[in-house]
Amino acid sequence: MTNIKFTDEARAAIKSAITSHPDWNDWRVHRGLESRSMTKKDWLDAAEHLGLNIEHVIENAAQQIPLAVDSTPATNAEAAPVASAHDLEAILAPVADYVGAKVLADLRNSIAPVIADANKPVPEPVKVPVVKEIEKKVFIDAETGEKVAAPEKAIADATITRQDTAGKVFGMRHKSLANMPVDVWNAPDAPAIDDDFQFDPEALADALAMLAKGAFGAAWLYGPRGTGKTTFVRQIAARLGRPFVRIGFNGFLEPVEIIGGLQPDGKGAMRFAAGVFAHAIQRPGCIILLDEVTTSRPSMLSELTTILDDTRITEKTTGSIIERAAGVSVMAADNTNGQGDETGLYAGTSTMNKAFQDRFGVYVGFGYMSPGNEAKALAAATGLDIAKCQHMATFAALTRKAAEKGEILEGLSHRRLQKWADLVDMGRPSQRAFEVACLGDLDGDTRETVAQFARVDLDQNHHLIDGTTAPVSTENTTPENADAANQFDALSDDSDQF
């Protein structure tokens, strides 16, 4: 099996053969596997267990006649052939001199009915009505990439309804946005507007400038987890009324799943099945987000690089072209700016091919919000009192400053703060909520250091977050945590605080 070339089409044929086997589900459930997370070794193990010959599967798939059969009736069809006559005595003649009369008679009686059937006229062929095969559309959930049921009515293509300024559309008074023209679309499935989301005006101006120029590869967004990269792109689409498709990458996705390719149709033929990217590129005004793209396979990056260059998809097997619709743009988001990661924070990421990154117009870095703005965002998202959120945001900023100085591996992310706030809003004690929502997410050394920060500066504020009476403290600040207290005190003087 070492000489097998596992092309995209070969992988698709192998997966189809395995998943159509009657014992497939029993094997998968017994092994505790999901098909989306299976490795190549898992697929090959499945084939061996189910008794499938991989070489034969690939060979049979390669010999299938793809796509369509000409159903036009022949104009000069010949008459049905007439079977040639078979003579019983001529058939028996070679053995007649070597057997006795009784044996010859028995042979004659046995063969005569067969010869009589063979000499019957061939009946006229039955005319089978020609049924045209209609292409089946596959509908993909824009957020998850999963196949979903077809909507009752097809989603209408978006069109531009007006041109306005970014300042008015986004409700921001900033010199970079005041006079920047933007097109407003009318996509019926555009994301919902989050009025509480706060855009960084310069980052927004950079992204909108590339969209206005019609760039296919518009922007590469990078920064720590929980800094709002995905929401940034979603809310741009929301304010502009544009379709939004987010494609989450991982190391197991193959080009045939994202872009599309020939797959067995279960009837002995091969058909092109479009992936989520191929569907999205055909939607006017669509903003496509390649999320966590640094976890993708090299073969995926090669395909995407070609598409971003050509601004269209060329289906390699059939040569068919999928054109980019008007206004379609692509953005990418990752945590490492394409540099990969050696700390273990972003496992599975790899250094990006610079040829791929070069297809994007701008590189926009994202950082955490100021404590004041983050408190507002927490209050808006969770319903928790803003004063309580302020204590949470201020402590999170302390941990992030420590991370910038290299004292810990990472600070608390905004998502962790939101889980902390959610738990408090549901009546859980702040100290317990902090431990399970924030500390549990950190690695060992970082967890201990952040816990020490909390003992110095946060424990005395948990009662304020809970809205209860302050407990009587029996502990004094010790010399070993004095530095942590000084860091927190200095941060509390930030002019952005409430």
Bridge partners, 139 (sequence order): 148
Q: What is the pLDDT of residue 488?
A: 43
Element (H, E) at 323: strand 321-323
Contact 190, 239 (CB under 8 A): no
C-alpha R_g of the chain: 34
Nearest to 393 by CA among 473, 195, 345, 385: 385
Residues 99, 284: Cα–Cα separation, whole Å: 85
Question: What is the amino acid identity at position 300?
Answer: M
Q: What is the pLDDT of residue 11?
A: 78
Q: What is the pLDDT of residue 3?
A: 60
Longest dimension (CA), the chain: 123
Q: What is the pLDDT of residue 236?
A: 96
Report DSSP state, residue 57: H
Rounded to two decimals, what is the model's pTM? Answer: 0.59
111 by Cβ neighbours in 10 Å (0-12 / 13-18 / 19+) ranks as middle
Q: What is the pLDDT of residue 127?
A: 56
Kind of pairing between the strands at 147-148 and 139-140? antiparallel
Tokens of 169: 């559309």
φ/ψ of residue 254, rounded to 5 = -115, 155
Alpha helices in 35-136 (DSSP H): 40-49, 54-62, 88-96, 101-118
Q: What is the pLDDT of residue 229?
A: 92
Task: Please enumerate in sequence order all residues whose Cβ is within 8 A of that of 413, keeping only pairs 6 or more positions apart, or say none.
Answer: 224, 225, 226, 227, 441
Element (H, E) at 205: helix 201-212
Report DSSP state, residue 164: E
Q: What is the pLDDT of residue 37?
A: 72
Q: What is the pLDDT of residue 22?
A: 77
Nearest to 92 by CA among 69, 115, 74, 71: 115
Residues 10, 60: Cα–Cα separation, whole Å: 10
Contact 255, 392 (CB under 8 A): no
Nearest to 253 by CA among 294, 221, 224: 294
Question: What is the amino acid identity at position 150?
Answer: A
Report DSSP state, residue 223: -
Tokens of 127: 């005319």
Coil, strand or helix at 354:
helix
Residues 461, 454: Cα–Cα separation, whole Å: 9
164 by Cβ neighbours in 10 Å (0-12 / 13-18 / 19+) ranks as middle
How many residues in total does the chain contain?
A: 498
Residues 80, 125: Cα–Cα separation, whole Å: 8
Q: What is the pLDDT of residue 355?
A: 79
φ/ψ of residue 329, rounded to 5 = -135, 155
Q: What is the pLDDT of residue 149?
A: 62
Domains of the chain, first to last: 8-62 (no CATH), 139-365 (3.40.50.300), 371-492 (no CATH)
Contact 11, 300 (CB under 8 A): no
Residues 454, 444: Cα–Cα separation, whole Å: 15
Contact 183, 190 (CB under 8 A): no
Q: pLDDT tens, position by position, for the chain (498 residues)?
A: 546 666 777 777 788 778 877 787 777 777 777 776 788 888 888 888 888 887 777 776 665 534 333 334 434 444 444 444 678 788 878 877 777 777 778 888 888 888 887 787 766 665 555 544 444 555 566 556 566 665 555 678 999 999 999 999 999 989 999 999 999 999 999 999 998 888 999 999 999 999 998 888 889 999 888 888 999 999 999 999 999 999 988 777 777 778 877 777 777 777 777 888 989 999 999 999 999 888 877 778 888 888 888 888 887 777 788 899 999 999 999 988 777 665 556 656 667 777 788 889 899 999 888 899 899 989 998 999 999 999 999 999 999 999 888 888 888 988 899 999 999 999 999 999 999 999 988 888 889 999 999 998 898 899 999 987 665 554 444 444 445 444 444 444 443 433
Report DSSP state, residue 345: T
Q: What is the pLDDT of residues 211-249, one digit of tens each?
A: 998 888 889 999 888 888 999 999 999 999 999 999 988
